[in-house]
């Protein structure tokens, strides 16, 4: 097959040039979060990293990411030494901005490498569809908005995830796949939600033989590798008896159930329902929790309470997440193919996003990225992917609320959706099984509704109401996006269990 044009590298160069132009763009408090982490990892001994609290943006990522911040700090001191002063809260010189923005782009080279490996490891027949899926991730509006405007380091983390999934394609790469995923967990613990799929798949195809007997040598190699990775990352903190403090930082359950209406999951719909019931409660004779009326799902740090519906505990969200993951894990154990594995990873991502505790809207990438790798398997998969692609990206719009960036996020996202959904529609093969009629019609209707929703939430509401009822656009966006994510989840469940 002839080399694809434009190549992944050529697209990456063009995308990088565009991202450089966004250096002066809006940046969220996450920019100061990472500047502070540069400062504290550079200025303090390791044993003080997870106790430092001069800034409210304390270190709450696992040790591997802290070590990465330390490494970046060694370069930062040659750019602007004032970056590395812990007491310089909110420091944003132009050199600071350009340095931190540049590190995001440099780290994203790992994503480009992983996508290139994904395309080259695919079969000759699937090369074109894999290439299209790879470009959709590389040019993703979600990564542009979250990493290069809002400011985070998700690109290289998803590069590690994709590389891990690519290695899992062959029996000879299973050990490397498991170790890469373990390393990923040491960078960011949100990927724990995907761990059940990895555990079942590696157990079934790496640790057990065809007769369901343990392969001791393979199991020993995997266990030893995991022990070395986790031991090297967490061992020093265990030695200093700081694991309790580290876990307290990584899992702050004091935060509320919902994150400011933004994450489009089951709990945003639950919050919306509570808000509606609050309006009609007097007529229906429903009881109201007066203490919760003024703090319903405001995204504040603290327990989220509801005025009419029962409150949800962290334990309940964990059980919902685990139970919703179990069917896909059972199928993965019984049918351990690579496609089934990626599908199970995707469904674990769905479950964690839909039912998890204090889920951020940015976590939708846990679903979108692995699903993209199998979305073009056939048109049934694509039918489930379409509403997710729209919902996942529209839900990120409230992250960027400044006027200057409005046309960037809107035009870029709409263009990406039109381009890749049309390309995907042309490339996706006809399935051997009948398509789900209702899902196709749902996708069409859902995409159509997105246009007036974006117009109202971004323009009309502020023009009509000004600063009043500021929660309404967030609630509409979150609820609309939640319907799309839930619809996509149900559609993919049907496809997954009938394939």
Rounded to whole angstroms, the Cα distance separating 99 from 73 reads 10
Report whether 230 contacts 250 (CB < 8 A): no
Greater model confidence, 399 or 159:
159
So what's the pLDDT on residue 1?
44
Confidence of residue 298 (pLDDT cuts 50, 70, 90): very low
- Chain segment 46-85, per-residue pLDDT in tens: 999 999 999 999 999 999 999 999 999 999 999 999 999 9
pLDDT of residue 303: 53
Overall average pLDDT of the 189-212 stretch: 95
pLDDT digits (tens, 9 = 90+) for 119-132: 999 988 899 999 99
Q: Give 196's DSSP letter.
A: H
pLDDT given for residue 300 in this prediction: 39
CA angle centred on 43, ends 41 and 46, rounded to 5°: 50
d(CA 365, CA 188): 13
Distance CA 110, CA 163 (A): 9
Q: How confident is the model at residue 140 (pLDDT cuts 50, 70, 90)?
A: very high
Q: Which helix (H) or strand (E) holds 68?
A: helix 63-79
Residue 71 to residue 78: CA distance in whole angstroms: 13
Read off the pLDDT band of 256 (50, 70, 90): low
Cβ count within 10 A of residue 468: 9
In terms of Cβ atoms closer than 10 Å to its own Cβ (0-12, 13-18, 19+), residue 490 is middle
The per-residue pLDDT for 301 is 42
Round to whole Å and give the CA distance between 240 and 464.
Answer: 58
Report whether pLDDT(376) > 50. Answer: yes
Quote the pLDDT of residue 304.
63
As a whole number of angstroms, the distance between CA 168 and CA 157 comes to 17
**Least confident window among 173-187, 398-412, 467-481, 483-497:** 467-481
Judge residue 46's burial from the number of C-beta atoms within 10 Å of its C-beta, 0-12 exposed, 13-18 middle, 19 or more buried: middle
Q: What is the mean pLDDT of the chain?
A: 90
Burial class of 80 by CB neighbour count within 10 A (0 to 12, 13 to 18, 19+): middle
Q: What letter does residue 189 receive in the DSSP assignment?
A: G
Cα dist. 122→125, 131, 197, 383 in Å? 8, 9, 21, 22
Predicted confidence (pLDDT) at residue 467 exceeds the cutoff of 80 = no
Give the tens place of pLDDT for each residue, 313-351. 889 999 999 999 999 999 999 999 999 999 999 999 999
Q: What is the mean pLDDT of residues 487-498?
A: 94
Whether the per-residue pLDDT at 355 is higher than 50: the answer is yes
Residue 291, token pair as written in the block: 């203490």
Residue 154 contacts by C-beta under 8 Å, 6 or more apart in sequence?
A: 143, 146, 147, 362, 365
* Model confidence band, residue 99 (pLDDT cutoffs 50, 70, 90): very high
CA-wise closest residue to 346 among 289, 384, 314, 316: 384
For residue 123, the SS3 value is coil
Higher-confidence residue of 295 and 77: namely 77
> Which stretches does DSSP call E strand in 38-136?
none
pLDDT for residue 478: 84
In the DSSP assignment, the letter for residue 254 is T
Residue 467's alpha-carbon distances to 27, 299, 327, 473, in angstroms, are 22, 18, 46, 11
Higher pLDDT, residue 252 or 1: 252
| 294/383: higher pLDDT | 383
DSSP string, 271-295: HHHHHHHHHHHHHHT----GGGGGG
Whole-angstrom distance, CA of residue 93 vs CA of residue 198: 43
DSSP state of 6: S
Lowest mean pLDDT among 103-107, 178-182, 293-297: 293-297
Q: pLDDT tens digit string along 201-252?
A: 999 999 998 888 999 999 999 999 999 999 999 999 999 999 999 999 998 7
Name the band, by pLDDT with cuts 50, 70 and 90, for residue 474. confident
**Rounded to the nearest 5 degrees, what angle is found at the Cα of 342, between the Cα atoms of 265 and 257?**
20
Half-sphere exposure of 110 (CA within 13 A, CB side): 17
């Amino acid at each position: 097959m002839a080399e694809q044009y434009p190549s992944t590298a050529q697209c990456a160069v063009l995308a990088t040039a565009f991202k450089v132009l966004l250096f002066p763009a809006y940046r969220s408090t996450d920019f100061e979060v990472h500047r502070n982490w540069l400062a504290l990892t550079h200025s303090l001994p390791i044993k003080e990293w997870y106790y430092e609290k001069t800034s409210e943006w304390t270190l709450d990522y696992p040790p591997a990411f802290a070590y990465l911040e330390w490494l970046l700090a060694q370069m930062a001191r040659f750019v602007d030494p004032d970056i590395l002063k812990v007491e310089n809260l909110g420091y944003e010189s132009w050199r600071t901005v350009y340095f931190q923005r540049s590190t995001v782009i440099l780290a994203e080279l790992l994503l480009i490498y992983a996508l290139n490996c994904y395309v080259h490891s695919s079969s000759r027949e699937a090369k074109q569809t894999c290439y299209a899926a790879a470009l959709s991730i590389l040019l993703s509006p979600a990564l542009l908005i979250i990493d290069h405007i809002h400011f985070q380091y998700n690109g290289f983390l998803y590069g590690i995830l994709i590389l891990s999934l690519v290695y899992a394609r062959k029996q000879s790469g299973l050990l490397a796949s498991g170790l890469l995923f373990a390393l990923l967990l040491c960078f960011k613990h949100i990927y724990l939600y995907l761990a059940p799929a990895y555990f079942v798949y590696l157990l079934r195809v790496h640790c057990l033989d065809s007769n369901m007997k343990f392969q001791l040598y393979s199991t020993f190699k995997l266990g030893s590798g995991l022990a070395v990775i986790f031991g090297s990352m967490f061992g020093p903190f265990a030695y200093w008896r700081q694991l309790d403090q580290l876990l307290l930082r990584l899992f702050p359950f004091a935060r509320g159930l919902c994150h400011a209406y933004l994450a489009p999951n089951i709990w945003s719909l639950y919050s919306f329902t509570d808000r509606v019931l609050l309006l009609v409660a007097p007529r229906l004779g429903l009881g109201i929790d007066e203490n919760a009326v003024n703090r319903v799902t405001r995204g504040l740090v603290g327990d989220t309470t509801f005025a009419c519906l029962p409150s949800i505990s962290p334990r309940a969200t964990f059980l919902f997440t685990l139970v919703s993951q179990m069917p896909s894990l059972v199928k993965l154990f019984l049918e351990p193919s690579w496609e089934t594995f990626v599908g199970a990873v995707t469904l674990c991502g769905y479950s964690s996003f839909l039912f998890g505790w204090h889920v951020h809207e940015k976590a939708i990438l846990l679903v979108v990225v692995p699903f993209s790798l199998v979305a073009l398997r056939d048109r049934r998969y694509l039918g489930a992917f379409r509403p997710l692609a729209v919902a996942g990206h529209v839900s990120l719009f409230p992250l960027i609320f400044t006027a200057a960036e409005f046309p960037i996020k809107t035009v870029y996202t709409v263009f990406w959706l039109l381009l890749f959904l049309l390309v995907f529609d042309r490339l996706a093969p006809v399935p051997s099984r009948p398509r789900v009629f209702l899902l196709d019609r749902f996708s069409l209707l859902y995409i159509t509704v997105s246009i007036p929703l974006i117009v109202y939430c971004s323009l009309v509401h502020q023009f009509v109401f000004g600063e009043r009822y500021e929660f309404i656009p967030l609630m509409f966006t979150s609820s609309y996006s939640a319907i799309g994510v839930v619809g996509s989840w149900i559609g993919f469940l049907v496809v997954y269990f009938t394939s």
